[in-house]
């Protein structure tokens, strides 16, 4: 098996079977919302639908980037996620597509438009690869194979630093990201993978022309911890396993830039309540990765069940806040009763 394919399979097994990958810090639980005993709404009429990148969503959810590759298990995971996203009216992003650029056998795992003709689909590449082997033509190629509406470029300096075979030259990346953003036909979303994006980084990304940022903060899947399971020297990954900016704090810090970009909240989003809190803190869309992995190994129906659970929780939270539509919760910090961070 190609080394990248092997790494993908290692990740799936560690995340899927390892019990300690989520940091379980529950940062979102530190925010209390104001319950309304008199919501003055009919629950049946609460409308969680929204739009993102011009596409209609049944509620503001994206299945965050996870995988793709030559192995039949990876093909099945992506097919099940694509089928479920289409059926439930949510967005879906595939995992890094670099594997397809070096191994044509990975093609099938990214040929997903046939399963999701209408869904918002996003491709994915590691931004650091712009310093190694990838360029503009590769970005176009991965979007073409997927029939994608946009491209995620992920930033993962922590993961690469603790990974045995990590690509750690993150120098001069801003200008290379700017070229991709300004030349690509489709929109580019810059994301982290679970350590968050700081306001200083957002300023540089805005200067590069980026209009979409996915916080992917800390509180959920710990890539440092995942990599520590693959390493002969696990201590480094373990030490940094809680490193990063907690997702709700990262969202809050973005307040001055909210109107210059669209923000996606992810990293430890585990319920519809977390999603509503993210929208209150300015997100336009919420991403969830790890909770979809085991259902996707099973069936599209199992993935649909998780999506439906999240939608029910999201709608119930809106109802209990007296919010009938998405616009009633978006950036509405008046709905926060209290928060504690010490």
Ligand X SMILES: Cc1cc2nc3c(=O)[nH]c(=O)nc-3n(C[C@H](O)[C@H](O)[C@H](O)COP(=O)(O)O)c2cc1C
Rounded least distance, CB 116 to ligand X, Å: 18
Among residue numbers 82 through 101, which ones bind ligand X (CB under 6 A)?
Answer: 95-96
CB of 325 to ligand X, least distance (A): 26
Report in angstroms how near the CB of residue 28 gets to ligand X at its nearest: 11
**SS3 of residue 27 by DSSP:** helix
Residue of 76, 204, 290, 330 that binds ligand X (CB under 6 A): 290
At its nearest, how many Å lie between ligand X and the CB of residue 4? 10
> Three-state DSSP class for 61?
strand
Residue 119 Cβ vs ligand X, minimum distance, rounded to whole Å: 17
First-to-last C-alpha distance (Å) of the chain: 48
**Over the Cα atoms of the chain, what is R_g?**
19
By the rule CB under 6 A, 196 interacts with ligand X: no
Q: Which is nearer to ligand X, 65 or 109 (CB)?
A: 65
Residues 98-127 that bind ligand X (CB under 6 A): 124
In the Cβ-directed half-sphere of 16, how many Cα atoms lie within 13 Å?
18
Strand 262-266, strand 31-33: pairing: unpaired
152 binds ligand X (CB under 6 A): yes
The contact pattern for ligand X, residues 17-56, with x = CB under 6 A and - = no contact, is ----------------------------------------
DSSP 325: B
Report how many residues bind ligand X under the rule CB under 6 A.
Answer: 26
Report the nearest approach of ligand X to the CB of residue 192 (Å): 7
Closest approach of ligand X to the CB of residue 334, in Å: 28
Distance CA 142, CA 111 (A): 10
Specify the stretch interacting with ligand X by CB under 6 A; choose among 8-16, 169-177, 250-258, 303-311. Answer: 8-16
Of the listed pieces 99-107, 205-213, 289-297, 311-319, which binds ligand X according to CB under 6 A?
A: 289-297
Please answer whether residues 149 and 120 qualify as being in contact, where contact means their C-beta atoms are separated by less than 8 angstroms.
yes
- Residue 271 sits in the site that holds ligand X (CB under 6 A): no
Contact map string, positions 205 to 234, toward ligand X, x by CB under 6 A: -----------x---xx-------------
> How far apart, in whole angstroms, are the C-alpha atoms of residue 8 and residue 5?
5
Structure tokens, 163: 């990974």
- The token duo for 165 is 């075979």
Q: Does 159 bind ligand X (CB under 6 A)?
A: no
Which residues does residue 265 pair with via DSSP β-bridges, in sequence order? Answer: 286
Out of 253, 288, 306, 326, which residue is the one contacting ligand X (CB under 6 A)? Answer: 288
Cα–Cα distances (Å) from 210 to 47, 54, 185, 204, 245, in that order, read 30, 17, 13, 9, 20
The verdict on 278 binding ligand X (CB under 6 A) reads: no
Task: Rule CB under 6 A: say whether 268 interacts with ligand X.
Answer: yes
Q: Where are the alpha helices (DSSP H) in the chain?
A: 3-17, 72-88, 98-102, 136-146, 157-162, 173-183, 199-207, 223-228, 234-239, 247-253, 272-280, 293-298, 300-320, 326-329
Under rule CB under 6 A, residue 64 binds ligand X? yes
Joined together, the tokens standing for residue 205 give 């990304």
Binding positions for ligand X, rule: CB under 6 A: 11-12, 15, 64-67, 95-96, 124, 152, 154, 191, 193-194, 216, 220-221, 266-269, 288-290, 293
């Amino acid at each position: 098996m190609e080394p990248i394919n092997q790494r993908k399979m290692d990740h799936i097994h560690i995340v899927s079977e390892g019990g300690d990958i989520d940091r379980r810090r529950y940062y979102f639980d530190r925010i209390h919302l104001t319950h309304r005993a008199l919501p003055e709404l009919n629950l049946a009429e609460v409308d969680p639908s929204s739009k993102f990148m011009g596409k209609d969503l049944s509620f503001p959810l994206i299945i965050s980037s996870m995988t793709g590759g030559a192995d039949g298990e990876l093909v099945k995971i992506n097919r099940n996620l694509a089928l479920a996203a289409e059926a439930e009216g949510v967005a879906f992003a595939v995992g890094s597509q670099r594997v397809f650029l070096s191994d044509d056998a990975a093609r099938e795992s990214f040929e997903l438009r046939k399963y999701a003709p209408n869904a918002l689909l996003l491709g994915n590449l590691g931004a650091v690869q712009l310093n190694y082997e990838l360029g503009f033509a590769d970005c176009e190629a991965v979007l073409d194979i997927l029939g994608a509406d946009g491209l995620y470029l992920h930033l993962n300096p922590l993961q690469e630093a603790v990974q045995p075979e990590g690509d750690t030259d993150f120098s001069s990346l801003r200008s290379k990201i700017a070229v991709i953003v300004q030349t690509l036909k489709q929109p580019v979303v810059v994301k982290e993978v679970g350590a968050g994006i700081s306001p200083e980084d957002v300023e540089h990304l805005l200067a590069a022309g980026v209009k979409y940022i996915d916080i992917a903060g800390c509180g959920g899947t710990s890539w440092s911890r995942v990599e520590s399971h693959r390493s002969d020297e696990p201590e480094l990954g373990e030490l940094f396993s809680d490193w990063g900016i907690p997702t709700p704090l990262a969202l809050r810090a973005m307040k001055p830039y909210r109107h210059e970009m669209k923000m996606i909240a992810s990293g430890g989003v585990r319920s519809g309540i977390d999603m509503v809190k993210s929208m209150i803190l300015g997100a336009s869309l919420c991403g969830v990765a790890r909770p979809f992995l085991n259902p996707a190994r099973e069936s599209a129906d199992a993935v649909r069940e998780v999506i439906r659970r999240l939608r029910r929780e999201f709608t119930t939270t809106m109802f209990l806040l007296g919010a009938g539509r998405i616009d009633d919760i978006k950036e509405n910090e008046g709905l926060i009763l209290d928060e504690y961070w010490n």
